[in-house]
Amino acid sequence: MTSHQRAVALTWVGRGVPVVPCSRTDKGALVPGFGRDASPEQLATFSDPEQVRAWWSGRFKRAHVGLLTGRGTDGRGLVVVDLDMPKGDAPPLEGRWSGCHGGTDVLELLAQEAGAAWPETYSVMTPSGGLHLYFQQPADGPLIGCATGEGPTAPHIGPMVDVRGIGGYVIAAGSYSTAQGRVYERVTAPEMRPQPLPGWLLELLRPAAQPAAPPRPPSPVRVLPTATRAERAAAGALEHSVGRVENAPEGERNRQLFAAARWLGELQSTAPAVLDETTVREQLLAAALRSGQSEREALRTIRSGWERGLSSRGAGAA
């Protein structure tokens, strides 16, 4: 048993897949430090042949061989699609999944919906009758993470289908389940290796790309009069206010917009040809939209600040 488990562990390390000793009763990992946020230095321990040989020659000599999914020393690593069997008291699936009796049926339905064939790759039958399909992590773009069952976002793809990627692991073929009295058994040809994810399955496992943000509206172009010192000062105040509104941090945007509109309203009488209401509203609104504010709220704030500024002109004069 010891020499067999050690040989399995070293075989996978030689293929670029890190390994971890796991409990023979509950499959729990017996060594920490490989989670989603593990550093390359932490993960290197699980790919060190000498450390692996020591684990399966000493304290963990009878442990299951857990294969770490996510990152591999070959630069690609594994993602495993785990197709479960239903529990004895589980109600039958309904709706879209009606007629599916396990994760294998669910994946087959997803393949049919995509007009694709069943994915051929390295596969392992689990002691419970489920199936592990091993794939290579995608060569470009983000790596696939972990998910359990059906959910609203990728990599959740359906009921009784679990996904093991970054931060996860699966039990390797050849390991024996004490609880079920059966081994994890490779069911594909000896020469078969984990294959690249087919496009239809990769599309299901990856979160949808966020839509690109709409382009920020430019400030309307206006040629402002600058014949007098007051007009030049007013034009500078308008430009400065636009910059403050556009670059205001989240949580300060509305306050900065109100303050800018109020200040310009207070200055309006010093250069009415520059700081007319239409010009101020257009320039501040464009800046507010570029900062992420809604048009309706921004217009309300500009109007309120502008009117406050106009009403406070000369306040406190003797």
Taking only the tens place, the pLDDT of each residue in 189-232 is 999 999 999 999 999 999 765 555 566 666 666 677 778 999 99
C-alpha separations of 309 from 3, 179, 247, 249, 300 in Å:
84, 77, 22, 23, 14
Residue 89 amino acid letter: D
Q: What is the pLDDT of residue 221?
A: 65
Q: Do 164 and 170 meet the contact criterion of CB atoms below 8 Å apart?
A: yes
DSSP-assigned letter for residue 35: S
Computed over every residue of the chain, the mean pLDDT equals 90
Q: What is the pLDDT of residue 76?
A: 73
Model confidence, pTM: 0.67
